[in-house]
Amino acid sequence: MAREELNFTKLAIDPLEPSPDGKRRYVYDNKENGLLVQVTSTGRKTFQLYKKHQGRPVRVTIGTFPEYTVEQARKKAREIKTALDAGENPNDTARAQRQEMTFADLFQIYLERHAKPRKRTWQEDEINYRRHLVDLGKKQLSKIVKSDVSTIHSRIGKAHQTHANRVLALISSIFGRGIEYGLYEGTNPCIGIRRFPEQSRDRFLNGEELFRFFSALEKESNVTARDSFLIALLTGARKENVLSMRWGDIDFPNAIWRIGRTKNGTAQTIPLVGPALEILQDRRKSTLSFFVFSGPGKKGHIVSPFKAWVRICKEAGLKGIRIHDLRRTMGSWQAKTGASLPIIGKSLNHKSASTTSIYARLDLDPVRGAMETATQAMLEAVNGMKK
């Protein structure tokens, strides 16, 4: 069959019909050597370049007609021929791009190789990815630019600036691990994006708020959640450690709770003041569970008693209070009743280069005393409101 040729113009290409035998039809431009239009059985028209490259025929797709004009197709054909003459095959480039790792691929590697082995809070990374980064995950790494990340950061920051900074840090860490593992050779797109200003959170419950908080606790129907909040307040421990508290870690005769590993990577021993010990002793009588605050989920303990917390805060008329603020409340009342900063740091297991050596020399007696004094002051404030 003789090769079809045509002087490409829009008017000339528009009426081209599919081949009667259902096969693809190829019509060549008689002005730009190698440029052709492929017409499929459905009538779809696509510009292509057909040329010998290193002794082998190469067909490179340019784009569909009429989205691509004739002039655009001719110009692109000339660019492709120049690349082929220089020894570059555009099909190889396109194939490499199709096989390139996406952000979602790199996130999974980051999760398995870095987050899970090293971060106790790795599940927060999963949550932040699902909430904010799924669309970014569809993109190939080389296609992600600074403006993509900045848009995400700005969108989250309209309502939650601190959280926006955490998501930005997560994206930066993922790209950082990709560079470290040799999986990404580009520049981290987070570089140069200005973080939102953050203020240190100093929220804690004062005496009047403690009275309303305890009154609301008495009305809470979820006893497990209620007790977990009280233990969080009376121990100053982190929420995740309280919720995963195990009976095997509690030394009732010596009134202490040993945590094998906290968020900062260290172990911690916490004195159990009288009211906290009473709560735990009462719970021990009524449960056979491995965990103090057992739950129906896969982990065996409650994970996020958020609904109960919202009910309590609403009943107490407390605004802007988080569960973590119970930990801060213990530290604040210790300071209020005269405890020194090293004592407070020891009780809350703060980790800093300037105080670690001081904490190491402290035993539990002064810590217990400070916690008992703070607890007594809090309870006196609550009882004083009842009179």
Over residues 64-78, mean pLDDT: 90
Over residues 292-321, mean pLDDT: 90
- How far apart are the C-alpha atoms of 41 and 360, rounded to whole Å? 80
Confidence of residue 360 (pLDDT cuts 50, 70, 90): very low
Is 102:137 a contact under the CB 8 Å cutoff?
yes
**Best-predicted range by mean pLDDT (87-96, 285-294, 378-387):** 285-294
Is 37:27 a contact under the CB 8 Å cutoff?
yes
- How far apart are the C-alpha atoms of 319 and 335, rounded to whole Å? 23
Task: Please tell me the predicted confidence (pLDDT) of residue 106.
Answer: 93
Is 216:134 a contact under the CB 8 Å cutoff?
no
- How far apart are the C-alpha atoms of 120 and 300, rounded to whole Å? 17
pLDDT at 235 over 80: yes
pLDDT in tens, 87-97: 676 656 555 44
Task: Please tell me the predicted confidence (pLDDT) of residue 185.
Answer: 83
DSSP H or E run through 192: none
Report which of residues 339 and 231 the model is more confident about.
231
Task: Please tell me the predicted confidence (pLDDT) of residue 368.
Answer: 86
- How far apart are the C-alpha atoms of 313 and 336, rounded to whole Å? 24
Over residues 119-143, mean pLDDT: 90
What residues does each domain of the chain span? 4-99, 103-180, 207-386
pLDDT in tens, 256-271: 999 988 776 778 899 9
Task: Please tell me the predicted confidence (pLDDT) of residue 89.
Answer: 65
Architecture of domain 4-99: 2-Layer Sandwich (3.30)
Over residues 193-205, mean pLDDT: 80
Question: Which residues pair with residue 25 across a beta bridge?
Answer: 39
Task: Please tell me the predicted confidence (pLDDT) of residue 355.
Answer: 45
Q: Which fold has domain 207-386?
A: hpI Integrase; Chain A (1.10.443)
Over residues 203-222, mean pLDDT: 92
* Lowest-confidence segment of 226-230, 336-340, 381-385 by average pLDDT: 381-385
Helices (H), the chain: 10-13, 70-85, 90-99, 103-110, 116-118, 122-128, 134-137, 146-157, 161-180, 207-219, 223-235, 239-243, 274-285, 306-316, 324-336, 341-348, 356-360, 364-386
pTM for this prediction? 0.56
| Mean pLDDT for all residues in the chain | 86
